[in-house]
Amino acid sequence: MTKIGVLALQGDFLEHKKILVEIGSDVVEVRLPEHLNDLEGLIIPGGESTTIVQLIDTYKLRKPLQELTSQGLPVWGTCAGMIVMSNKLTDKYPTPLNLMNITVSRNAFGRQLDSFETELSISELDNPDYHAVFIRAPSVCNVGKNVEIIAQLEDGTPVAVKEGNALATSFHPELTNDNRMHQYFLKIVENEKFQHRLI
């Protein structure tokens, strides 16, 4: 069984956990650095990024998360999780963890559009048609040269990005019945495991 951690400090970690269990992973709720031992992948959920980052620092998780990510641990952030993973924000708070080379703007879709649902085409899925849920979502305003854009809005705004084993989505796959993005993350995790076994 593949052991996936879900950062369980604040936000919708239980929704991620439910889908991961459904697709057959072993799930660990991560609250302290020792919960990161032996993980094969980690999800940072949606919620409130300032609170999540505050708690990450309170529980001394920033450094271990940065180290594990730079060693190749697959990490996926959804919504607030994307904000946490970025290397730069257009906003003053919080101070992101710099797990990915992206600049992100919090609450980028303003008040009127702060929550919406839309159809996306996600190039990495076998059937790319995907119904996505955005809730006070961040947008990616700039990507580094190794970052792949795997989904964007009609106006070109990137909403799913990948850099090595790091994945971030502005939307919330954990709030739908469609588990294909979780399956996709599991594929990244399995692939990383496979490569390690070859070495």
Kindly list the catalytic residues. Answer: 79, 172, 174
Output the smallest distance, CB 27 to ligand GLN, in A: 20
Distances (CA, A) of 20 to 2, 32, 33: 10, 20, 21
Residue among 8, 39, 83, 140 that touches ligand GLN (CB under 6 A): 83
Based on the shown chain and the rule CB under 6 A, indicate whether residue 106 belongs to the binding site for ligand GLN. Answer: yes
Residue among 31, 136, 180, 193 that touches ligand GLN (CB under 6 A): 136
Binding to ligand GLN (CB under 6 A): which residues in 16-55?
46-49
CB 167 within 8 A of CB 4: no
CB 89 within 8 A of CB 104: yes
Residue among 23, 68, 125, 135 that touches ligand GLN (CB under 6 A): 135
Based on the shown chain and the rule CB under 6 A, indicate whether residue 88 belongs to the binding site for ligand GLN. Answer: no
User: Which segments of 71-134 does DSSP mark as H helices, in order?
Assistant: 80-85
Biggest CA pair distance of the chain: 51
Distances (CA, A) of 24 to 152, 157, 183: 29, 33, 10
Based on the shown chain and the rule CB under 6 A, indicate whether residue 166 belongs to the binding site for ligand GLN. Answer: no
Looking at the Cβ atoms of 25 and 105, the one nearer to ligand GLN is 105
Based on the shown chain and the rule CB under 6 A, indicate whether residue 149 belongs to the binding site for ligand GLN. Answer: no
DSSP label at residue 152:
E
- With CB under 6 A as the contact rule, which of the stretches 66-74, 77-85, 120-128, 143-151 interacts with ligand GLN? 77-85
- At residue 9, the 3 state secondary structure works out as coil
Q: What CA dihedral angle connects 51, 161, 24 and 31, to 10 degrees?
A: -20
Binding residues for ligand GLN, how many (CB under 6 A)?
11
Based on the shown chain and the rule CB under 6 A, indicate whether residue 107 belongs to the binding site for ligand GLN. Answer: yes
Residues that bind ligand GLN (CB under 6 A): 46-49, 79-80, 83, 106-107, 135-136
